Amino acid sequence: MQDIRDRAHVSPARPVGILILLLTLVLSLSCSDLDAPQPSAPPAVPVEEAPLMWEGRPFAFTFTSDDGNIDNRVWVDVFRDLDLRYTMFVTARWIGQSQKLTVSDLRHLQAEGFEIGGHGLSHARLTDCTDSALVSELRGCRDTLQAMIGASGYRCRTFAYPYQAHDERVMTAATRFYTAARDGGSDARGYPDFSRGNSTWGNTSLFEVPVTLTLSDLVNRNQFTEMRTRINVRNRLADFRRYQRWVVVTGHRLGDCDSAHMRWVLEELQAAGAWIAPFSEVAACYRRKVGLPPYTATPSLDLAQ
């Protein structure tokens, strides 16, 4: 036992030995090493925020109505009060019929800055049309609306596919007569599966614009209370802001969204800093910023102007 204790015993370090060791370490460093300037860490590069593409706003909203129903004039009053405008996609041959807008309505609305876009000559399902009928629906709608309104500065530049029916042939045809077209369906897959529900700068097509919301979805066909409506809008905005989305909101009649619910929705969007503008204005912003994304369809027909 004594042997083991003796072997485990460690003599305390002597002060003289420690001093010699430290002196050796110091002398091993050359004066040039000590005096040389040490490399500094690279300066921090400030992280710039992503530019707000939609006219300096975090996201864009376009409100649209279809068919040219006369009760759309109630929405006009709300938008006018808030100094906003929206897009009416109208079917040319329905103008002046019962419960539809008149030629006089269209002229006054267009003069006030509300956009009048096309929704077909007769609201035909374009995917079922022959080639000649497709041309007639697209070009005939444009030319008829321009003749009806008759304003020197007016051009029918945008279109909404009736019944949301469109395919590669229809989209190719639409590019010949319009600068942009609205899908209108809430299916995020799109056709032919290239929109994927995200209207970001990298994947927005001006002839099939995601994301689409319905007014009835936002307000539950006017069943939501004011507070529930406002909360519903707020809950959706984080995702729109994150991806800088262009959101197209569609509706037909006051049964989808009455004037009170429309005001609540618009007030929430304004408070959140949304850019709210007609369809053609947002499309034009897209063109100015990044240009029309490549659309390489192979036309199945030669559409003449």
Interacting residues of 151 by C-beta distance below 8 A, sequence separation 6+: 107, 110, 111
| 3-state DSSP assignment of residue 290 | helix
Please report the pLDDT score of residue 303 as a whole number: 55
Mean per-residue pLDDT, 213-229? 94
Q: Which fold has domain 60-290?
A: TIM Barrel (3.20.20)
Residue 12 has pLDDT above 50, yes or no: no
Q: For residues 145 and 156, is the Cβ–Cβ distance under 8 A?
A: yes
Whether 188 has a pLDDT exceeding 50, the answer reads no
Is residue 154 a contact partner of residue 147, using CB atoms and an 8 Å limit?
Answer: no
Residue 176 has pLDDT above 50, yes or no: yes
Beta strands in 140-211 (DSSP E): 158-160, 180-182
User: Token pair of 79, please?
Assistant: 């938008």
Q: 3: Cβ–Cβ under 8 A, 6 or more apart, which residues?
A: none
Q: Between the CA of residue 220 and those of 4, 157, 216, 233, what are the distances in Å?
A: 88, 31, 5, 12
The helix/strand/coil state of 62 is strand
pLDDT band at 165 (very low <50, low <70, confident <90, very high): confident
Mean pLDDT of 278-292: 83
Structure tokens at 293: 């994304």
**Contact (Cβ atoms closer than 8 angstroms) between residue 117 and residue 181:** no
Asked if 216 and 232 touch (Cβ cutoff 8 Å), the reply is: no
What are the b/e assignments for 23-46, b being 16+ CB within 10 Å?
Answer: eeeeeeeeeeeeeeeeeeeeeeee
pLDDT, mean of residues 126-152 = 96
pLDDT value at 204 more than 80: no
237 is written with which tokens?
């905005």
* Mean pLDDT in residue range 177-194: 66
pLDDT value of residue 193: 46
Strand ranges, E, within the chain: 60-67, 87-90, 115-118, 158-160, 180-182, 212-214, 246-251, 275-276
pLDDT top residue among 11 and 255: 255
* Type of residue numbered 33: D
Lowest-confidence segment of 30-44, 198-212, 261-275 by average pLDDT: 30-44
Structure tokens at 53: 């593409």
Cα distance between residue 14 and residue 237, in whole Å: 73
Tokens of residue 84, six digits = 């906003």
Report yes or no on whether pTM surpasses 0.95: no
Mean local confidence (pLDDT), 283-300: 65
Spatial CA neighbour of 116 closest among 84, 156, 58:
156
pLDDT beyond 80 at 117? yes
What angle, 0 to 180 degrees and rounded to 10, lies between the N-to-C axes of helices 259-271 and 226-242?
40
- pLDDT bucket at 279, cuts 50 / 70 / 90: very high
Q: What is the mean pLDDT of the chain?
A: 80
CA dihedral 29, 32, 35, 36 (to 10 degrees): -110
pLDDT band at 238 (very low <50, low <70, confident <90, very high): confident
Q: How many CB atoms lie within 10 A of CB 57?
A: 18
pLDDT of residue 291: 65
Counting Cβ atoms within 10 Å, is residue 273 exposed (0-12), middle (13-18) or buried (19+)? middle
Q: How confident is the model at residue 9 (pLDDT cuts 50, 70, 90)?
A: very low
Of residues 68 and 189, more confidently modeled: 68
Residue 147 has pLDDT above 60, yes or no: yes
